[in-house]
Structure 1
Amino acid sequence: MSVWVSLDMTVAEGGYEALEPFLEAKLPAVRGFDGALSVTVHYERQTQKLLILEEWKSRDHHAAYIDSIMKNGVMSELVAFMTGPPNVAYLQRMPI
C-alpha cells in the first residue's frame, strides 16, 4: 500500500516569487525519483501557506528521497524560502 506525505510550510514574506521557479526546476526530479507516484503543490497567497502532497510506493522510498535531498542541499534550499522547517505527516488512504 502506498503512503501519502504532506509537507505543510509557511513561505517567508515576499518569498513566493523566487520559490515558484525553484519548485518548477526541482519538481521533475522529485517526480522521477524511484518510488514517487505523485507530487502536487498547493499555495494560499493570503496566508502564505504552502502544502506539498506526495504519494510514494512506501515510506522507505520517501526516506531514500529525503536522504538524497539532505545530502545534495535541496532541502536546505527549500527551507530557505520558508519561515521554518516543514511539518511532515505520513498518511494512509482509508478504504472507505
Structure 2
Amino acid sequence: MSVWVTLEMTVREQQYAKLEPFLEEKLPAVRSYDGALSVSIFFDQTSNQLLILEEWKSRQHHQSYIQSITENGVMQQLLSFMTTPPEVQYYDRVMI
C-alpha cells in the first residue's frame, strides 16, 4: 500500500509569485525521486495557504526525500517563502 502525505503551510505575503517558479524548477526532482508516485500543489489565494499532496511507496521513501532536501538546502529555500514550517501528515491508503 502507498502512503499519502500532506504538507500544509502559509506563504508569506506577496511571495507566491516568487514561489511558483521555484516549485516549477524543483518539482521534477521530487516526482523522479525514488519512491515518489505523485505530487500535486494547491494554493488558496485568499488565505495564502499552500497544500502539497504527495503519494509515496512508503513513509520511509518520503522521509529519505525530506532528509535529502534538508541536507542539500532545498528545504531551507522552500521555508524562506513560508511563515512557518509545514504541518506534515501521513495517511495510509485504505481500500474500502
Length-normalised TM-score, structure 1: 0.98
Q: Percent identity?
A: 61
Residue 4 of structure 2: aligned partner: 4
Give 1:24 deviation, angstroms. 0.2
- Segments of 5+ residues of structure 1 without an aligned counterpart are none
CA distance in 2, matches of 1:49, 1:93: 24
The residue number in structure 2 matching 1:27 is 27
Where does structure 1 differ by over 4 angstroms across 4 or more consecutive aligned residues?
none
CA distance in 1, matches of 2:72, 2:17: 23
1:18 aligned partner: 18
Equivalent in the alignment of 1:53: 53
Show structure 2 runs of 5+ residues with no match. Answer: none
| Cα offsets for 1:25-73 (capped at 9, x unmatched) | 0000000000000000000101000000000001111111011000000
Aligned residues: 96
Letter in 2 for 1:39: V
Secondary structure in 2 aligned to 1:91?
Answer: strand
- The AA in structure 1 aligned to 2:61 is H
Question: Cα RMSD between the aligned structures?
Answer: 0.6
Q: TM-score if structure 2 supplies the norm length?
A: 0.98
